[in-house]
Amino acid sequence: MRRCRGKFGARKDRAVPIVPFEGRVPKIHPTAFIAPTAMIIGDVTIGENASVWYGCVLRGDLDPIRVGNGSNIQDNSVLHTGLDEPCIVKDNVTVGHMACLHGCTIEDGCLIGMMATVLNRTVIPRDSIVGAGSLVSEGKTFAERSLILGLPAKAVRSLTQEDIDGSYFNTAKYVENARRHRLMMEEHAARTGLKF
C-alpha cells in the first residue's frame, strides 16, 4: 500500500490502495471515499464526493479512467481501458455491484445495473439506465434517457422523469453512505490505532 499523492493532495494521512504505474499516479479528491479493499492503479482520477467500494479494481495502465463528481462504483466492479479507449464515468452515475466497464463512456446521471457489461467505444448517454446483467457490445450509441436491456443490449423504451429522478436519488444516497463508511473507519482507527 502506498500513500496517495497527486494534484488533489488526497489521503496524505493514511494509506489507501493505490498503485502508480509507469509514472502515472492516481488522483483522488479529498472528499472521495475509497474502500480499503479497492485497487486504484495508474492513470485514474476520482472526483469530488465519488466513491469506489469494496473489491473494485480501476486499472488505468493503458489509457485514463475518470470517475466524476458524486458517482459511485459499487462492490466488485471492474473499470479498465483499451488502447486509445479511455473509460469515462461522468457525474452522478451509479455503477452497480460487479459491473464491468471497458473503454467506454457513461454520461451524467446514468445507472449501470448489477453485473452489466459495457464494452469499448460505447457511449451510454445522459440519464439512461443499463439493466442488470445486460451486455452492451462494442461501439454502440443510444438516444438520451434510454432504458437499455438484454444480451445483446438494445434500447427498449425512453425513461420517464420518475425513472431518472430515482437514479439521482440513488447517487445521493451513495454520497451519504460513503460518508457513513468513512466515519466508521475513522472511529475504528481511533479505537484500535489501525488505519485503513
Sorted by where each begins, the domain ranges of the chain are 2-192
Q: For residue range 14-34, what is the model confidence (pLDDT) as tens digits?
A: 456 889 999 999 999 999 999
Q: For residue range 84-111, what is the model confidence (pLDDT) as tens digits?
A: 999 999 999 999 999 999 999 999 999 9
Provide, for the chain, the percentages of residues in helix, strand and coil under a 3-state DSSP scheme, each rounded to the nearest 5.
15, 35, 45
Quick one: 2-192 is in which CATH superfamily?
A: Hexapeptide repeat proteins (2.160.10.10)
Q: For residue range 124-149, what is the model confidence (pLDDT) as tens digits?
A: 999 999 999 999 999 999 999 999 99
What is the reported pTM? Answer: 0.90
